[in-house]
Structure 1
Amino acid sequence: MNARTEPAETGTDAIARPPLVRELLLVVGLFLVYKFGRLLATSHTGEAFRNADRVWNLERAVHLPGEGSVQNLLLHGDTLVHLANTYYATVHFPATAAFLIWLYLRRPAHYVRARRVLAVVTAAALVVHLAFPLAPPRMLAATGLVDTAQVYGPSVYGPPRTDHLANQFAAMPSLHFGWALMVAIGLIVATRSRWRLLWLLHPLLTLLVIVGTANHYWLDALVATAMLALALAAIHLPHRTVTTAGRGAGTLVPAARDEDAALVGAGR
């Protein structure tokens, strides 16, 4: 799934890249605020388990498929479940970072929108985590699910009482899934490859992993999808001033329209 299917934006039709140092500070700052903000809810243990019971019962009431059906597939072999745990532990941040770096270098207009969308979704998720602490299904005895990371490894979490690096009661919404879905949508929109829809395999695989490892409920992914949809609807590609012939100097046009015009002019 090679995303480099179009020439990079150049000339008067290319939007200026945001200053690199500023972007690095924004991304790192957002990550730190989210990381430390999650820790504020670590003491809400009782509420997190009560909410977990509510979510589990709601899923059964609306007849969502049991998370155990996915986990049973992973437990057919130690290798498969180990790969799922490794995917959960190692793909989330690097894939999102690679996505943003590629957009920054090759599609600056799409980068600006993607960064804004991810920032809004992440900030909204933090609010939900604080207002609705939720224990993951691996901690809820009623689910009958196995904590695959603890049993088979590798695990990114320690015991909840002593793990001061992560808030394990922040299951809803699932940013693992929300970010993965944004990566897929962003690459589909920013590229023209006939195979670009295959990027959807990334959020699909992420969904199976987060549910199969008992780190998230189905509803966690559904809420993340709804939040991402709202952010995408509210945040559009930035406009830029172009001076190409036929448009007149100083005309504001959407970034995506210029990309399509450039493709036509290149005979693609």
Structure 2
Amino acid sequence: MAGGAAGGRRAAPSRPRLWPEILLLVLCYLAYQAVRNLVPAEHAMAAHRAYEILELESSLHLDVEYDLNRMFTAHTALAVTANYFYAVMHFAMTIGVMVWLYLRRPARYAGYRTLLFTTTLLGLAGFWAYPLAPPRMLPGFTDTVIAFGTWGIYDSGAGASVTNQYAAMPSMHTAWSLWCAAALIAAARRWWTVVLAALYPAVTIVVIMGTANHFLLDAAGGGLALAGGLALSRGAFRVAAHARQPGHPPAP
């Protein structure tokens, strides 16, 4: 009986091998950066679209970016903290959650890793389809990185040539922060983890607007990218599961 019960018990999903996973993540990130930097960089068109975004938000009474940017620039400590949050947390938090899933929640790791990939793929498609200038490139807005002399991954100055400045729609800062929150909340065992996880994307959205790096609609686009990524990743897992059924060849 014991043997039969053990035989009928479902085996827990195994943790993927570490080095192939690291190689996969590094290659995907390098490909993401390379493709992102190939996004068409026509300033006139990107700026025109930025004004269209502002006009649409104004008609919907959602144009909060300028007021947030003014508030940030009026408080040095807030602006400097936001600059470093924008530059560091986007990568540090995402990598941290990936490592945590791999070590502590291996059964969930593959699903969330695939979700991050599909979400980012949709983000790249958005960059190509809709190159958009960030608010900091428009008159009246302040680039807080330049104004306060802090280090940042993006700015409107001479260092801007290092990366494409018009890959703003959708906001991957928003998409990745929502991904982190979803992964943590789904596996959380303590109430404070849920609260902090939920606060992270909320703070991220305020920061990307206060530093004049994104519009509110860019953040909405990031949410849509995550939703689309979820649909794609679920479809991919269903296809793989169907291919593994008896009578079908093994999934590649």
TM > 0.5: yes
The answer to whether structure 1 residue 218 and structure 2 residue 209 are counterparts is no
Alignment of 1:134-145 (within 5 A): 134-141=132-139, 144-145=140-141
Aligned length: 229
Mapping of residues 169-184 of structure 1, within 5 Å: 169-184=166-181
Partner-residue secondary structure (3-state), 1:91:
helix
3-state secondary structure, aligned to 1:214: coil
| Aligned 8 A contact 1:184 1:203 in 2 | yes
Which piece of structure 1 moves more, 20-29 or 37-46?
37-46
**Residues 92, 180 of structure 1: 8 Å contact kept:** yes
Shift of the 185–149 alpha-carbon distance from structure 1 to 2, 3 Å rule, reads same
Q: Secondary structure at the match of 1:207?
A: helix
1:193 aligned to which of 186, 190, 195: 190
Q: Which residue of the other structure, out of 143, 148, 152, is the alignment partner of 1:152?
A: 148
Which runs of 5 or more structure 1 residues have no equivalent in the other structure? 1-10, 242-249, 251-268
- How far, CA to CA, are the matches of 1:84 and 1:163 in structure 2? 19
Mapped to 2, the partners of 1:159 and 1:81 lie a distance apart of 16
Identify the match of residue 121 of structure 2 among 100, 120, 123: 123
Counterpart for residue 104 of structure 2:
106
Once residues 117 and 73 of structure 1 are traced to their aligned partners in structure 2, the CA distance between those partners, rounded to angstroms, is 35
* Residues 143 and 155, structure 2, Cα contact 8 Å, conserved in 1: no
Q: TM-score, normalised by structure 2?
A: 0.83
- Shift of the alpha carbon at 1:62? 1.6
Match of 1:80 among 78, 81, 90: 78
Q: Which amino acid aligns with 1:121?
A: T
Residues 118 and 232 in structure 2, CA contact (< 8 A), matched pair in contact too:
no
| Whole-angstrom distance in 2 between the partners of 1:69 and 1:36 | 34
Which is further off, 148-157 or 204-213?
148-157
The aligned amino acid for 2:72 is: L
1:64 Cα deviation after fit:
0.7
* Structure 2: gaps of 5 or more residues: 1-8, 246-252
Matches within 5 A, 1:1-268: 13-141=11-139, 144-154=140-150, 155-157=152-154, 159=156, 163-198=160-195, 199-236=197-234
Question: Could you tell me the percent identity over the aligned residues?
Answer: 38
State the shift of 1:233 in Å: 4.1
1:157 Cα deviation from its structure 2 partner:
3.0
C-alpha displacement of 1:99? 0.4
User: Residues of 2 paired with 1:233 and 1:190: CA distance?
Assistant: 20
Alpha-carbon displacement from aligned partner over 1:192-251 (angstroms, at most 9, x marks no partner) = 222232111111111111000000000000011012123224434969x9xxxxxxxx9x
Cα-Cα RMSD: 2.3
**Aligned equivalents of 2:72, 2:156: Cα separation in 1:** 23
Q: TM-score, normalised by structure 1?
A: 0.78
Q: Which amino acid aligns with 1:153?
A: G
Assess if the C-alpha contact under 8 Å between 2:73 and 2:142 holds in 1: no
Residue 12 of structure 1: how far off its partner (Å): 6.2
